[in-house]
Amino acid sequence: MYFGSDNTGPVHPAVMEALVAANTGFTGSYGADPLMDQARTQLREIFDAPEAEVFLVATGTAANCLGLACHCPPTHTIFCSPTAHIHEDECNAPEFYTSGAKLTLVGTDDKISPQALARAIEAEGNRFPHGPARGPLSLTQATERGQIYTLDEIRALTAVAKSHDLPVHMDGARFGNALVALGCTPAEMTWRAGVDVLSFGGTKNGCMGVEAVILFDPARATEFQLRRKRGAHLFSKHRYLSAQMVAYLADDLWLTTAKQANDNMARLADGLRKFPGVTFDYEPAVNMAFLTIPSPLAKRLKAEGTAFNIMQGSPDTDDAVTIRLVTDWSIAPTEIDRFLALAAG
């Protein structure tokens, strides 16, 4: 059973069909294809943001870093969670794309609190020019530990940022998962809540490899395009990025796959919760769970071929280990049940 990541699963059939369907004849390259116009229109509608600029790239890291670079001079610092993907899993890509901005880790928790943010911003405030100037806030929604910020929480955080004139970036690699969990609109979770630029994830939620960067303030569009090209992220056969995104958005497919992934995790979590010695480090809100399980259980699951990451500890030397489980849309509920039965031993 594959619970290692939501990027080890397949592409949704509708997305693959769209790729095949797009594969006829000739069309403009580098983004000048009609499917891109369609994707842009769809996203503007979905976000109720008719002026937003939309660009596609192939990786979440590229989306994050190009979006951030347009909102963060090299002499500035980005405020983020210590668990943020941009800090832990991008191999200095943000530092690279911003030409040397720093990342200021806010607090010690997965979710940033407004108080911790205010303190971090103030701490960076008084030392011009010796310390970096204050740059954007970057929020991950849903977080890298599978939690979500409520709308009130997002607004409270963006309010702190705005009180210092700082832009706000949202890493939405699992945007769909968070949205269906919150049950609000895309606009409510982003620009209406103070977000300026969004990495809108597709890859983890059913696509092959596509993310949209949505600049709610279109002023940065030209800079973004130059940075994207310079970062080697402008696809020549761009229609194949566009086709994925169009299919992903059509008929709310992205919401369907997100909901399926979340429901799979709820099912899995509810089952695991019953096992002795299993505790959840974070209450799973979307499709990712961090939990501590007894080492014998971990060993048995591995022996049965279940794929998951051990985040902390070793089953051979520790009594319990912390593991991460991730579900995607493609797992059938029956497979979850089968897994739980196997896990019961």
Is 130 a binding residue for a second copy by CB under 8 A? The answer is yes
Q: Which of 56, 101, 160, 161 lies at the binding interface for a second copy (CB under 8 A)?
A: 101
Is 132 a binding residue for a second copy by CB under 8 A? The answer is yes
Q: Give the separation between CA 244 and CA 205, rounded to whole angstroms.
A: 12
Q: Which of 107, 114, 131, 313 lies at the binding interface for a second copy (CB under 8 A)?
A: 131
Q: Which of 50, 183, 232, 316 lies at the binding interface for a second copy (CB under 8 A)?
A: 232
Is 43 a binding residue for a second copy by CB under 8 A? The answer is no
Determine which helix (DSSP H) or strand (DSSP E) holds 164, and give its type and residue range: none
Contacts (Cβ under 8 Å, ≥6 apart) of 332 = none
Q: Per CB under 8 A, which of residues 63..82 are in contact with a second copy? A: 65, 73-77
Is 264 a binding residue for a second copy by CB under 8 A? The answer is no
Q: How far is the CB of 175 from a second copy (least distance, A)?
A: 16
Q: Per CB under 8 A, which of residues 202..231 are in contact with a second copy? A: 203-204, 208-209, 223, 225-231
Q: Give the separation between CA 193 and CA 121, rounded to whole angstroms.
A: 19
> What is the token pair recorded at 18?
């769209």
Is 236 a binding residue for a second copy by CB under 8 A? The answer is yes
Which range binds a second copy by CB under 8 A, 38-46, 90-98, 174-182, 261-269? 90-98
Q: How far is the CB of 240 from a second copy (least distance, A)?
A: 5
Cα→Cα distances 106→79, 295, 339, 341, Å: 6, 32, 38, 41
Cβ nearer to a second copy, comparing 14 with 184: 14
Q: Give the separation between CA 122 and CA 107, rounded to whole angstroms.
A: 13
Task: Give the angle 244-171-204 at the CA atoms, nearest 5°.
Answer: 40
> What is the token pair recorded at 15?
């997305």
Q: What are phi and psi of 196, to 5 degrees?
A: -95, -35
Q: Per CB under 8 A, which of residues 142..201 are in contact with a second copy? A: none
With H, G, I as helix, E, B as strand and everything else as coil, classify residue 328: coil
Cβ nearer to a second copy, comparing 85 with 111: 85
Q: Per CB under 8 A, which of residues 302..331 are in contact with a second copy? A: 307
Is 99 a binding residue for a second copy by CB under 8 A? The answer is yes
Is 283 a binding residue for a second copy by CB under 8 A? The answer is no
Q: Which amino acid is at 4?
A: G
Q: Give the separation between CA 57 and CA 330, rounded to whole angstroms.
A: 23
> What is the token pair recorded at 151?
């709308």
Pair 78, 87: CB distance under 8 Å: no
Q: How far is the CB of 236 from a second copy (least distance, A)?
A: 4
Is 26 a binding residue for a second copy by CB under 8 A? The answer is yes
